[in-house]
Amino acid sequence: MRPKELIEKRVDIFNEGDAAKIAELYHWDAINHQVANKAIEGRNAIKEMFSMEFSTADMTCIPENIFEDGE
């Protein structure tokens, strides 16, 4: 899968509000840095973060541009 396709897949999953599917895109030891929060470490913690966020707000990701090296 090309990087651009991966980002498009993540956007689709985010818009479905599926924390488990988003978490599967991360390595087990991943660290997720959110702008307003402390770093979230590990796939399970990332899944919990998205589960909490999806349960408290109706969020939609609308990318304006996705560039891939070479474009």
5 — pLDDT class (breaks 50, 70, 90): very high
Tell me the helices (H) and strands (E) count for the chain, helix number first. Answer: 3, 2
Task: Give the number of residues written for the chain.
Answer: 71
The pLDDT tens digits of the residues spanning 24-48 come to 999 999 999 987 778 999 999 999 9
Evaluate whether 19 touches 40 at the Cβ level (below 8 Å). no
For every residue of 19-47, DSSP letters joined together read HHHHHHTS-TT-EE--SSS--EESHHHHH
Measured CA to CA, the distance from residue 10 to residue 12 in angstroms comes to 5
Q: Decide: helix, strand or coil at residue 49.
A: helix
Kindly tell me if the per-residue pLDDT of 60 is higher than 80: yes
Domain positions in the chain are: 3-56
Fold of 3-56: Nuclear Transport Factor 2; Chain: A, (3.10.450)
pLDDT at 40: 93
